Chains A and B, each alone.
Chain A
C-alpha cells in the first residue's frame, strides 16, 4: 500500500457523459500527478499540481481538466467521454524538498466507456 488513495476503483459510463476521479496523496506530499494508461500501453503523463498550483501539463485533452484543493486532494474531470477514453487512470504523489522525485502511485481507477 503506497498511501495514495483513489476513488472509485471502477467506473462504467456511456459516451458523452462526464465523470470525476478523485485522488488523495500521501500525508505530507504536495505534488499530485495524473497518468492515463490505455490497454497494453505505457504511462501517459496528463498533468501535475504542486501545493494547489498547476506545475506541468502533458498530453491532456481539452475535454479533461483537473484541480488540487487546499487539503491537497485532487480531482480529474473527464467530459464528453469517448470510447477511446477507456483506460486506467493513475494518480501519484511525491514529497517536497531536495529529493522530491520518487512518485508513489495509487491503485488506479479503471474507466470503461460504453
Chain B
C-alpha cells in the first residue's frame, strides 16, 4: 500500500549548523511532495513543496530535493536557528484534479536547534 518513511525521528543540531531530513515513498504515481512544520500544539503549516517535474527547489534557508528514480526526497535547512525547532512532516500525493489528492504523511522528525 501507500507508505512514506521518514528519517531520522529526532534530530539535534547546534545553531548555525545544517539539518537534513529524508523521506522515501512507495507509490510510484506520487507527483507532489510537501513539507509541513508543526510547533507544539499548533496546526501543521506548509513550508515548501515540490512537484515531480522539478528536481530541486529553494526558498531562502530551506531547500527540497527529489529523486524520482529512487523515490527519495529530502528537506535541507541551512543556518539553523532556535525558532526552527519543531516537528517536520514530509508527505506524498498523486496530486490529481477532481479531489483525488490525499496526502500520505511520514511519521515526523522532531528537530531541536540548540543555541
**Interface on A for B, CB 8 Å cutoff?**
2, 30-31, 33, 41-43, 45, 48, 50-51, 53, 55-56, 58, 90, 94, 96-98, 100-108
Taking chain B's interface residues, is the majority helix, strand, or loop, or is none over half, making it mixed?
loop
Question: Chain B: how many interface residues by the 8 Å CB criterion?
Answer: 24
Q: A42-B108, A45-B104 are in contact. Are A101 and B99 (CB under 8 A)?
A: no
**Interface on B for A, CB 8 Å cutoff?**
32, 34, 36, 42-46, 49, 89, 93, 95, 97-108
Contact A101–B95 (Cβ < 8 Å): yes
Report 9 cross-chain contacts, Cβ distance below 8 Å, ordered by A residue.
Answer: A2-B45, A42-B105, A42-B106, A43-B108, A48-B102, A90-B44, A94-B101, A96-B97, A107-B42
Taking chain A's interface residues, is the majority helix, strand, or loop, or is none over half, making it mixed?
loop
The one of A58, A96, A97, A105 in contact with B102, judged by C-beta atoms closer than 8 angstroms, is: A58
Question: B46 to chain A: which residues have CB within 8 Å?
Answer: 102-104
Contact B49–A55 (Cβ < 8 Å): no
Question: A96 to chain B: which residues have CB within 8 Å?
Answer: 97-99
Contact A101–B104 (Cβ < 8 Å): no
